[in-house]
Amino acid sequence: MPTSSLVRWFCHIYAALLYAYPRQFRLQYGGEMQQVFRDRCSYVVRTQGRRRLLRFAVHSGIDWLTTTLREGVDALRTAAQAGETVAARPQAGEAGETACPTKPITTTNWREHVRNVWMLGRKPQPRGFVAEWAMTILVYLFATTTLVQAYVVPTGSMETNLRVGDHMLVDRLAYADPGVLGRRLLPYREVQRGDIVAFLYPEDIRQTYVKRVIGLPGDRIRMVDKQVVRNGRLLLEPYTRHIAGSDSYRDDFPTAPDLFTTPRGRDMFLHHVQDGELVVPPGTLFVMGDNRENSADSRYWGFVPREYVVGKPLVVYWSFDAPTDQLEEWSVSHVVDVTLHFFTKTRWERMLLVPRSQVAQDVGAAPLPAGKAGGAQ
């Protein structure tokens, strides 16, 4: 999205949110508030980039919430001091009618009183409905694009920790750039070995994958008979699952590219294998699935760029027993299946399950790779 369009989009939303203020306040200060917001928004986009713009939008939203509440409280206080009535009163008319006497606020009519005070100075307009929906949509977009993201596990590459059909929320703030202030106030942290992360699949960024981090920049990775050796130390990984059968490419990685190695994977072999070990380059991660013999991971398609990390799995909010083809894209048959078997195929024991990061245990030095062993002799 061009910078001018991005600024214009934010300004339209802000203009709609101004309808939350009392009408007189909006008429008096609304124009100046929009101009200040537009100038600040343009400056942030032009000088600090879109990530800073997102923080600016969050701060503006907090400021909007606090000021609307403050104006509402002020209006309530003013109305109480002036002795405003709860119910609508007929005004003194041309026929000599007199206004009804003031009715005191009681426990039975306080809600109506608050509503009347909140609507002081306003005229019922369809735009109020539009403003309410604009705020609802804004909050939804902010939550789903900034705070959390819903994700469903379509394959068994992370079993037995994450199962096919697990629907979970991903914390998008966990590994985000915290900035100077956020680093002190919010629980941001860097990616660590053993973390389960959600990331954009490097071969197709329209897809989101979930794997476990095995190697950080500078780590030297290899496998010996299905066991990971990192920086010369043999690892014991209690979270992994192994099945029968052997494959030299998969179990004694890295050897040489095979039929299933993608172009990115072949580039990894060409430029990042030294003395029989894979060296993780700066700004990337080496990830693998816990179900090692049934996982398409960094062994086949290479490293994950750090900026592709979406976040950290937060909680499994629902788990439904369904095949992969139905989970990758909802269909009529899947809707029917969920409708008919919601209670019987829902894995209730997995509800609110929190996927845990787990650090592998160092069990000692591993034998040297063939290349290094030969050189040592």
Would you give per-residue pLDDT tens digits along the chain (377 residues)? Answer: 455 555 666 676 767 777 777 777 777 777 777 777 777 767 666 665 555 656 666 667 777 776 767 766 666 666 666 654 444 455 444 444 444 454 554 545 555 654 554 454 445 555 555 555 565 555 555 555 557 788 899 899 998 799 999 999 998 888 877 666 555 556 678 899 999 999 999 999 989 999 999 999 999 999 999 999 999 999 999 999 888 778 889 999 999 898 899 999 999 999 999 999 999 999 999 999 999 999 999 999 999 999 999 999 989 999 999 988 888 777 888 889 999 999 999 999 999 898 988 889 988 888 777 655 544 44
DSSP 364: E
Q: Report all structural domains of the chain as residue ranges with CATH numbers, in order of start.
A: 3-88+107-124 (no CATH), 154-376 (2.10.109.10)
249: region left, alpha or beta (phi > 0 left; psi from -120 to 50 alpha): alpha
- Give SS3 for 176: coil
Question: Tell me, what amino acid is at 271?
Answer: H
Q: Distance between CA 328 and CA 348 in Å, rounded?
A: 21
d(CA 63, CA 119): 21
Query: Model pTM greater than 0.75?
Result: no
Cα–Cα distance between 212 and 197 in angstroms, integer?
6
- Contact present, 17 and 138 (Cβ < 8 Å): yes
Q: Give the helix/strand (H/E) hosting 235.
A: strand 233-236
The distance of Cα 247 from the centroid of its chain, to the nearest Å, equals 36
How distant is the alpha carbon of residue 196 from its chain centre? 14
List phi, psi (to 5°) of 238. Answer: -70, -15
